[in-house]
Amino acid sequence: MTSKGRIVEHLGEAAVLLPRLVADGLAANDRAKVRMSGLQAAVRHATEPAKAAADLSAEARAADLDPIDLGRFIGQARVDGTDSVLAPGAAALQTSLVADVDAMARAIEASGSPEAPGYRQRLDALARAATAADDHLRPSAVAAMTSAAQGGPDSLHRLVMDLHKALNRLAACCADEIVAGAHSYGLAADDRPAVEAFMRGLASTRRLKFDHPGLETTAARSQGRLVIQNDIGTTDAHVLVVAVEDNAVTVTYTDVHRARAKFFVDLFDGLAATWTGLAHEHAEGLGEDGAFYLVTGRLAGQSAKERDSFLEAVGSALVFLIDWNKARKTLRAFIDNADAVRLLKWAARHRFGHRAFLQLGGADLVNGAVRRAAAARIGYGVRLDAALGRDGAGDFLKAVLRIAAEGLLAERADRLIRDAIDADLAGRFERSESELLQGIVRQSGLAREIAGGLAALAEERMAGRPGNAAALARKAKRIEEKADRIAVELRAAAERFRAGERTRLLIDTLEDSIDDLEEAAFLLSLLPLDRDHPALAPLATLCDTAAAGAAAVARAADAAAAVPGGHRGDADDALEASAKLIDLEHAADGSERETIAAILTDANGAAGVQALLECARKVERATDRFARAGHALRAHVIGDLTH
């Protein structure tokens, strides 16, 4: 019996395996008869070597045995001693023979037949004589084992014949029928809607396994309830058993991977089922140590509609368990384990899954895109989440899973799917540049806020009102600290995305201009409040010019951010705003000279003169920086247009 069959037996639901066990038992019957014939032929050839060895190749092929191995076993047999035949491979053949008879007996046991205990007792007694520690055969023992004579001692051949008859009777009683794709037997009329609901869910996602085997379903009525069993994939102990009684549903799920078992339960968040914790179990014949995890969920359905909805959800979830652990390990090369699990859950909920991703190459699919579309942006050995950031890497991998699934479902050529993934990654780096430029827009807005405050304060003083220079200085300091934090974030992003030197220059330039304007606000707060000053008018103009310059940088950066999208109008806007910055810088030079002249012709207060002078210089320097930013943005836009 397969490991999956042992797991189902371990769960106490062997009856659901009956059609498969009967088929396996009948196949085992064919093998057992050929193996017994092989033992007889080996003894005959050893004792009568002058005669041609029996040719059982046709019988072996019919029983799905290797005819070459069987022919070699018979041909190499020779007498070894007085009452012994040496036949290399005899011990293994006899062990396999007993296993075949055991498979026949298990099918009878699964049916609950009252004859089953008797068959088991006979097999236990005969198995001891039918197995050997070495490859020596005693002709008398082989004759006793293969005898079919009536009235004599029991034999393995006699037991095989009796089990074969019982299997034939059982096969007639559990004739297989197909209900919505599920191999079913013994169903009551009320069972069919539940089976159909489960299979409807299975069919809704089945295509997402692509060419991977699995998801075969069996349904049977057992012990007064409907039992549905699905073996999911090919992994040992990866089995689902669903029991339906009236409107209540009990799901029993086993898995050798604890993380995948937890993932399965998490897929049903929001549904009314209650789940047990993960139990660590053991079953004989499973893997190296027989260990697996078991979890049980129960829905106490109030109606057939609620029951069927849950059954459909269970059926639709199974495809996302196939190769799940392989996908998780593959994704861990790019993101951390917790993010990989979240990504797989996202792929399941959005009906993309991960099988297409694996089928198209898995890690090679992502690494190939990096080589082709982002080699200059992602350094060798740099993990994807370090290059794109955690959220950026997760978003890209979501796109990879989606593009892979949609592409294979639409039967697109692999090359086209890879091209789409390459284009997505390249586009993300283009958008990263645009996002960095949006950070420049934010910085420009902060600069404009300080410059506008300076102009307003100068105008207040000119109107004979003191204004609140200390409040402006405090506000400018807060803005400058905020701008510093933005600059740190932008530099980190620029480092991740390997942004060009122009982008780095823009970040530094805007940060420096805000520093200049913050210092100007501080210096202006030092002026005496008791009188107007002739320098205030040109200073107000200078500050207005600085505010206009900051606004122009914001417009240019915002327009430049849209240029990679192919909007010619945005390119024109960006170039126009950049050009305007040159005019504003020239106007600022004139306003600065007027301010300095007014300061120097006013002899009232050396401290105030110095404060106003430095204030004007700081504001003018900020406009210089805005002009420099304009040059960088112009070069950036022209570079995008020429690609």
Angle at 469 (CA atoms; ends 463, 471), nearest 5 degrees: 130
Average pLDDT score over residue span 347-360: 96
Most confident of the ranges 8-17, 124-133, 149-158, 199-208: 199-208
Residue 570: predicted pLDDT = 44
Inform me whether the pLDDT recorded for 571 exceeds 70.
Answer: no
Paired strand residues for 178: 183
Inform me whether the pLDDT recorded for 441 exceeds 90.
Answer: no
Q: What are 444-496's pLDDT values in tens digits?
A: 888 888 888 888 888 887 777 777 888 888 898 898 888 888 888 777 777 66
Paired strand residues for 251: 242, 297
Looking at the chain, the domain(s) classified CATH 1.20.58.220 span 431-641
Query: Which segment of 271-280, 422-431, 440-449 scores lowest on mean pLDDT?
Result: 422-431
Asked if 577 contacts 559 with a C-beta cutoff of 8 angstroms, the reply is yes
| 324/430: higher pLDDT | 324
Average pLDDT score over residue span 327-334: 94
Instruction: Report which secondary-structure segment, H or E, holds 240.
Output: strand 239-245
Whole-angstrom distance, CA of residue 285 vs CA of residue 15: 19
Q: For the stretch 531-550, what's the b/e string if a residue is b when 16 or more beta carbons lie within 10 angstroms of its beta carbon?
A: eebbbbbbbbbbbbbbbbbb
CA distances from 424 to 77, 403, 497, 592 (A): 67, 10, 15, 49
DSSP annotation string for 197-231: HHHHHHHHHGGGGTT-----EEEEEETTEEEEEE-
Residue 206: predicted pLDDT = 95
| 276/624: higher pLDDT | 276
Number of residues in the chain: 643
Amino acid at 401: L
Question: With a threshold of 0.75, does the pTM exceed it?
Answer: no
Whole-angstrom distance, CA of residue 65 vs CA of residue 199: 35
Strand 291-300 relative to strand 274-275, pairing? antiparallel
Angle of helix 324-331 relative to helix 337-349, nearest 10 degrees? 130
Say which CATH superfamily domain 431-641 falls into: Phosphate transport system protein phou homolog 2; domain 2 (1.20.58.220)
Average pLDDT score over residue span 531-537: 68
Q: What are 216-270's pLDDT values in tens digits?
A: 888 887 777 888 888 786 665 678 888 899 999 988 888 888 899 999 999 998 8
Residue 132 dihedral angles phi and psi, to the nearest 5°: -135, 155
Among 54, 367, 13, 349, CA closest to 205: 349
Inform me whether the pLDDT recorded for 359 exceeds 90.
Answer: yes
Asked if 437 contacts 494 with a C-beta cutoff of 8 angstroms, the reply is no
Cα 602 to its chain centre, rounded Å, is: 73
Residue 305: predicted pLDDT = 94
Amino acid at 627: A
**Percent of the chain residues past pLDDT 90, beyond the cut:** 27
Q: What are 37-90's pLDDT values in tens digits?
A: 899 999 999 999 888 888 888 888 878 899 999 999 999 999 987 788 899 999
Query: Which segment of 168-172, 209-213, 275-279, 385-389 scores lowest on mean pLDDT?
Result: 168-172
